[in-house]
Structure 1
Amino acid sequence: MSNSEEKIVDHGSDQLCLAEEPITNSIGQHAKPWKLLIVDDEEVVHSVTHLALDGFEIDGQGLEFISAYSGAEARTILRGHKDIAVILLDVVMETDRAGLDLVHFIRRELKNKLVRIILRTGQPGQSPEQEVITQYDINDYKEKTELTRQKLFSAVYTSLRSYADLYALEQNRKGLMKVISASATIFDERDISQFSQGVLEQLTSLLYLDNDAVLINTSGLLAHPEMENLHILAGTGKFKDCYGDVDISIFCSEVVERIRYVLKNKKSSYGENYWLSYYVTKSGLEQLLYLSAKDTFSVPDIEMIELFVKNVAIAHETIALLESCQK
């Protein structure tokens, strides 16, 4: 596609123009690794697990190995790492039931329902599989003698897929709660920010995107491409604490150039690992949504993103109209 070409997507009465990417070198996104906690009192088990899962990767994300050699040490680690995805857990450590007690701690005290727990035991007679599965909230049960490299790989792979789905659902639930809460008062309290934040969190979780996303109101402060300020309505990831009028330098130079390009050409822009959506209402209110992702966006993803920006802009415009009528 040449610099002068455009890709047009027809959405009923709206026409989406996708501008050609102005940056020749796209920014590579370094995906955060999945956190895997190994809890076992035998050093050799940790070493063998590292070796067996060497080079493991899902969707560009590798593994970060964290080791604990007792149930007590694992408790300390779990309190400090809320985002551990999978635990490979031994049963017999400092006590005969140290692993099972840790499961109780994770599920009951920490109330962590997301982390996937794979129980590994070298003494299955002490903790029969049927008893453990029915009485404890674990996700898999393996005897160390049967756990080949391939079986371990498969167990961790399926557990991580399950964790990713559950995490997305949880983030979607939290976003939906914010939307429900904000929707009841959005026009009474003129609070577009909470509404935008909730829907943005839903969007990023539904599309399995990286957490970094930001919704920008470009009317006024950023009406001209050379201005240095912008107004953020909502953000996630590294932009979560950004709100209101901020300096454009919070973005790296490549993203700043992309924003200026979109504002100048009044068209959405995209690359291999990002989408910058542009929408303008009939009254001239402009909004941008910047999203980062590990992979390219599909057509359904694009349609959902564009619909999000459009609806938030219209809601924002409606609030502004109500305020002007009451003056």
Structure 2
Amino acid sequence: MTGLSGVSKAIDITNKRISQYAASDSEILIQGETGVGKSRCAKLIHQLSLRSKGPFVEINCGSIPRSLIESELFGHEKGAFTGAVKNHVGFIKRANTGTLFLDEIGDMPLEVQGHLLHFLESKEVHSLGSDCNDTVDCRVIAATNEALDALMANGDFRQDLFYRLNVLPLTIPSLRERTVDIEVLANSFLEQELLKSGREALTLSDASITVLKHHPWPGNIRELKNVIKRAVVLATGSVIEPEALGIDMVCDFRTVDHNQLASKHIEKVIRDHKYNMTASARYLNISRPTLYRLIKKHKLELDS
């Protein structure tokens, strides 16, 4: 696995940081919008590090029920609670000698944050129902698309845990902040899709490149990849024209800033899907919680 794709200065700096951080064993906090490639960055750091022969264990803190996340992280003994019918090895122990990647760390419950902080300080894990602690040697990389400053101000994220994780900070730029990379990425994804689909050669027209460069990309690289997948299916000739992209330009991109464009695009997608948030999130290739956060961020007033 090589570095992040792109020719922009922002990606060049990010790739240099990845190489530098891989040489260290300190905790890393990766921040960036949804879809920018935080998981890919964590995997790159692991594969470039001295822990590359060890396991890379990834857990999305927002996808596990709050009542189960402590058990999933730290493990439990048989009989520790109702339903614990056998011993369960937690994600932290599974990452021994390797890297533990905690995605969406901002969604971790406060009480579990305290246990995680204890592990980072002591490197010891106490499984639920166990009488002893186990030492675990793993590096921790955390990631979030949340503004942790706001979460800390609201009392939803521990300040001491933030400083313990933020030893080596890494912020991944959004796609709209590096438009020079869009054509490179689009052609790379196009090449991948053509290999998988077995279709004859396709190229992006100049008009399609222009549309791609001025789209707001609320779903970032993940959304771009899906747009190219769709274009390969919908293209009728040897050249992909804008209509095959399935992107609606909702305003004049030459006179509107990216935040305003993103706001209008999200609002239009929601209205086009008749306020069905699940369908809207799927179209944008983001999760429902992320969609609601974007609605709040852009202060959208939606009257269904």
Considering only CA atoms, is the larger Rg found in Structure 1 or Structure 2?
Answer: 1
Instruction: Give the TM-score category using the shorter length.
Output: under 0.3
Task: Write 1 or 2 for the structure with the bigger share of helix.
Answer: 2
Q: Answer 1 or 2: higher relative contact order, Cα 8 Å, separation at least 6.
A: 2
Task: Write 1 or 2 for the structure with the bigger share of strand.
Answer: 1
In the superposition, the TM-score normalised over structure 1's length comes to 0.26
In the superposition, the TM-score normalised over structure 2's length comes to 0.27
